[in-house]
Amino acid sequence: MSAWWAVLGGAAACYLLKLAGLSVPASVLDRPLVRAVADRLPIALLAGLVAVQVLAGDRGVVLDARAAGLLAALGLLLLRAPFLVVVVGSALTAAALRHVGLMS
Amino acid sequence: MSDRPLEPHAEPHAEAQRRVVRDSLGVGIATGLYGASFGAVSVASGLDVLQTCALSLLMFTGASQFALVGVLGSGSSAVTGALTAALLGTRNTLYGLRLAPLLGWRGARRIGAAHLVIDESTAMSITRPSRALARTGFLTTGWSVFVLWNLFTLLGAIGGAVLGDPRTYGLDAAVGGAFLALLWPRLQDHDGRRLALAAAAVALLAVPLVPSGLPVLVAGGVALVVGVLHARREAP
């Protein structure tokens, strides 16, 4: 039941944020403080998500096949691979390492 | 069709429209297929198929959806999950601010269009030289992603339930790779890279100290601090 609250509450919030952007006068974004924070928020959040998704374990930070998958993604991005190739590449790397038993 | 007269030497209008449609469909298909991995990851995180499909239909913004199922999957509360999703959704507000004067929609059309404001539909419309082409890029990308993203979410959710542990297929690593790819364009300059590294470090430091889900919000705080400091420095 609690998951439904997150799904519906989160969806409502996300929709209202989209609508707010289309409806708010552009002058709000012209405020330097709003612009300075808003411009950086996606970077910090996504970087935090990458770190937590890849390195967080049950008790603190762990290095496992997910980190190898991220390294593969990094390499593919440097080679200018498209989005889907990056995603599939990181999955295959982690899966292969687990399959041969090299990493958990 | 067009609400602006054509420039005498511009690309013929019909041809430009076709090109925008073709490019937008390409992006729409590539992104939509990726819905399958969201479906699989969501079911693996403990949501059921209906909740997973509701997320793609109603939330319809990839990073927020992944974040929400990740936070819930790690045992955090519904509030933390919804809050993380909303924080990541703030970038759509910024997209909307840039799109509003370009698309020029009001009333019911604006209320409908808001649901389609995502990374891809924004990227495929803000660079267009006219309102007609911007609208074509926005609607073609938005609709093709919406239809395919939802279809493949369902397939991934059903397939994920059948296939079992997604770690066997490296799907947990795929999420990290996807987020890095979403972040990549913002890592091309020095400031972006420094901010990203600082935020990642802060998030990892927070991992053993606070309940799961919160480290990402703490990382968001780095943007707040850096942004405020920057604005102060710039102020006369």
Residue with tokens 């935020």: B199
Whether pLDDT at B205 is above 70: yes
C-alpha to C-alpha distance for A63 and A102, rounded to whole angstroms = 12
Q: B-chain residues within 8 Å CB-CB of A14? A: 59-61, 64, 85-86, 89, 92
Q: What pLDDT was estimated at residue A1?
A: 59
Whether pLDDT at B65 is above 70: yes
Q: What pLDDT was estimated at residue B118?
A: 92
Q: Do B179 and A2 touch (CB under 8 A)?
A: no
Domain boundary among B164, B187, B210: B187
Whether pLDDT at A103 is above 50: yes
Q: Does B105 share its domain with B207? A: no
Specify the higher pLDDT residue, A94 or B166. Answer: A94
Q: What pLDDT was estimated at residue B6?
A: 46
Q: Does B166 share its domain with B203? A: no
Whether pLDDT at B5 is above 60: no
C-alpha to C-alpha distance for A43 and B2, rounded to whole angstroms = 37
Q: How much is the average pLDDT of B17-24?
A: 88
Domain boundary among B169, B187, B205: B187
Whether pLDDT at B4 is above 60: no
Q: How much is the average pLDDT of B190-214?
A: 90
Q: B-chain residues within 8 Å CB-CB of A41? A: 87, 90-91, 220, 223-224, 227
Instruction: Report how far Cα B170 is from the mean position of its chain's Cα atoms.
Output: 22
Q: How many CB atoms lie within 10 A of CB A23?
A: 16
Q: How much is the average pLDDT of B215-226?
A: 89
Q: Does B168 share its domain with B226? A: no
* Secondary structure in 3-state letters for B148-160: HHHHHHHHHHHHH
φ/ψ of residue A61, rounded to 5: -90, 135
Whether pLDDT at A19 is above 60: yes
Q: Do B86 and A47 touch (CB under 8 A)?
A: no
For B189, residues 6+ apart whose C-beta sits below 8 A from its C-beta are: none
**Residue B73: closest CA among B231, B230, B212, B233:** B212
CA distance B16 to chain A (A): 24
- Domain count for chain B: 2
B69-122 pLDDT, tens digit each: 988 987 888 998 999 899 888 878 878 887 888 899 999 999 999 999 998 898
Q: Residues of B121-148 as b/e, b for ≥16 C-beta within 10 angstroms?
A: bbbbbeebebbbbbbbbbbbbbebbbeb
Whether pLDDT at A15 is above 70: yes
Burial class (CB in 10 A: 0-12, 13-18, 19+), A90: buried
Specify the higher pLDDT residue, B63 or B50. Answer: B50
Mean pLDDT of the residues in chain A = 89
Specify the higher pLDDT residue, B76 or B1. Answer: B76
Q: Does B85 share its domain with B20? A: yes
Specify the higher pLDDT residue, A29 or B151. Answer: B151
Angle at B72 between CA B222 and CA B52, to 5 degrees: 115
C-alpha to C-alpha distance for B207 and B115, rounded to whole angstroms = 33
Whether pLDDT at B212 is above 70: no
Domain boundaries, position B230: 189-236
Domain boundary among B187, B202, B225: B187
A69-83 pLDDT, tens digit each: 999 999 999 999 987
C-alpha to C-alpha distance for B75 and B81, rounded to whole angstroms = 10
Residues 74-103 of A with CB under 8 A from B: 74, 77, 82-84, 86-96, 98-99
Q: Does B211 share its domain with B226? A: yes
- Give the least confident one: A24-33, B116-125, B176-185: A24-33
Whether pLDDT at B219 is above 60: yes
Q: What pLDDT was estimated at residue A24?
A: 83
Whether pLDDT at B160 is above 80: no
pTM here is: 0.71
Q: A-chain residues within 8 Å CB-CB of B219? A: 44-45, 47-49, 51
No. of H helices and E strands in chain A?
4, 2
Q: Does B19 share its domain with B131? A: yes
Q: A-chain residues within 8 Å CB-CB of B49? A: none
CA-derived radius of gyration, chain A: 19
Bridge partner list, A61: A56
Q: Does B94 share its domain with B138? A: yes
Task: Compare all CA atoms of chain B with the CA of A91 and give the residue at the minimum distance.
Answer: B170
CA distance A100 to chain B (A): 11
Q: What pLDDT was estimated at residue B176?
A: 85
% of residues, chain A, pLDDT over 90: 53
- Asked, for residue B104, whether it belongs to a domain, the answer is yes
Q: How much is the average pLDDT of B177-185?
A: 85
- Asked, for residue B8, whether it belongs to a domain, the answer is no
Task: Compare all CA atoms of chain A with the CA of B106 and give the residue at the minimum distance.
Answer: A23
Q: Do A91 and B192 touch (CB under 8 A)?
A: no
Whether pLDDT at B9 is above 70: no
Q: What pLDDT was estimated at residue B10?
A: 58
- Residue of B92, B99, B181 lying closest to A83 (CB–CB): B181
CA distance B24 to chain A (A): 15
Q: Does B73 share its domain with B110? A: yes
Q: How much is the average pLDDT of B175-187?
A: 85
Instruction: Report how far Cα B171 is from the mean position of its chain's Cα atoms.
Output: 18
CA distance B8 to chain A (A): 31
Q: Does B82 share its domain with B170? A: yes
Q: How large is the ipTM?
A: 0.85
pLDDT band at B1 (very low <50, low <70, confident <90, very high): very low
C-alpha to C-alpha distance for B172 and B189, rounded to whole angstroms = 28
Task: Compare all CA atoms of chain A with the CA of B31 and give the residue at the minimum distance.
Answer: A84
Q: Do B90 and A19 touch (CB under 8 A)?
A: no
